[in-house]
Amino acid sequence: MPTPEVSQPVPALDIAGLTVRYGPVVALDDVSMTVHSGRICGLIGMNGSGKSTLFKSIMGLARPTAGRVTIAGHTIAQARARGLVSYVPQAENVDWEFPISVREVAMTGRYGRQNLFRRITSRDRTAVDDALDRVGLTDLADRQIGRLSGGQRKRAFVARGIAQGAEILLLDEPFAGVDKRSEATIIDLLRELTAAGRTVLISTHDLSTLPSFASEAVLLMQRVLVHDTPEEALRPENLALAFGVDVTGRDAEVNR
């Protein structure tokens, strides 16, 4: 009898041949990568390497010239409609003086699951309370968002993604400008989420801490140079390709 085929799990994120241009500028060039559920994938590269464009492409905010993005087996539009993916950009476009509380910011993550009239249900309140507890902001839930520190603000927007119930979290430089307590809180939370089967794609410039929390890493310079363990991605010869210098300080040719 023929051996029955074993079905492979659907990847959380599957990108094939993704190319994005801004006029004559190539932001992403034939990017292909696959990330499976329950993984933390670190995204590293110098400024201008395409990290933010990759996040925007996954969210459907940047139009590709070529290629495709599949999220948990769905198109981008389907995944967003189902609330499967949440994005925390590097810099939130927020009026910090606007009278909105931390709880209300987190509640915006529930909008996709509410009816046309945005009627808040007990399930919404429970999801928000749980998210705020997990990021350590319960005591500050009623504080105006602009009165938080940089690290607390970042945690508030991570809470929004958790409250949404997204299976895939995209975090663009969540450690930039945050205090060590907030960084540790976010890292512990990401570990909890991935242990429960969620998936995280996170960009960071803090290369020293990457191996302590990431399952894998992608080294990006318009295209994928390395997709392997954090230790392999951080080998000096690989970093030289992405950052243009090696550990001895000598210039290295950047593979574009």
Give a yes or no: residue 33 inside a domain. Answer: yes
C-alpha span between 46 and 35 (Å, rounded) = 21
Average pLDDT over residues 44-73: 94
Query: Domain containing 69: what range?
Result: 1-84+215-256
Say what the pLDDT of residue 1 is.
57
Dihedral class, residue 113 (left if φ above 0, else alpha if ψ from -120 to 50, else beta) = alpha
Say what the pLDDT of residue 66 is.
96
**pLDDT tens-digit series, residues 122-135:** 889 999 999 999 99
Give a yes or no: residue 161 inside a domain. Answer: no
pLDDT of residue 43 exceeding 90, the answer is yes
183, 213 contact by CB (below 8 A)? no
Give a yes or no: residue 236 inside a domain. Answer: yes
Give a yes or no: residue 193 inside a domain. Answer: no
C-alpha span between 97 and 142 (Å, rounded) = 15
Give a yes or no: residue 165 inside a domain. Answer: no
Confidence of residue 255 (pLDDT cuts 50, 70, 90): very low
Confidence of residue 169 (pLDDT cuts 50, 70, 90): very high
pLDDT of residue 175 exceeding 90, the answer is no
169, 199 contact by CB (below 8 A)? yes
Give a yes or no: residue 124 inside a domain. Answer: no
C-alpha span between 245 and 247 (Å, rounded) = 7
Say what the pLDDT of residue 25 is.
93
Say what the pLDDT of residue 253 is.
41
**pLDDT tens-digit series, residues 111-164:** 766 666 667 888 899 999 999 999 999 999 999 999 998 888 888 988 988 898
DSSP 4: P
Confidence of residue 96 (pLDDT cuts 50, 70, 90): confident
Residue 73, domain CATH: 3.40.50.300
Collapsed DSSP state (helix, strand, coil) of residue 204: coil
pLDDT of residue 93 exceeding 80, the answer is no
Give a yes or no: residue 106 inside a domain. Answer: no
Give a yes or no: residue 13 inside a domain. Answer: yes
Number of domains in the chain: 1
**pLDDT tens-digit series, residues 182-202:** 888 889 989 999 999 999 999
What distances in angstroms separate CA 217 from CA 41, 49, 102, one per listed residue? 5, 15, 32
% residues pLDDT > 90 (the chain)? 59
Say what the pLDDT of residue 245 is.
58
More confident residue, 91 or 5: 91
Say what the pLDDT of residue 246 is.
52
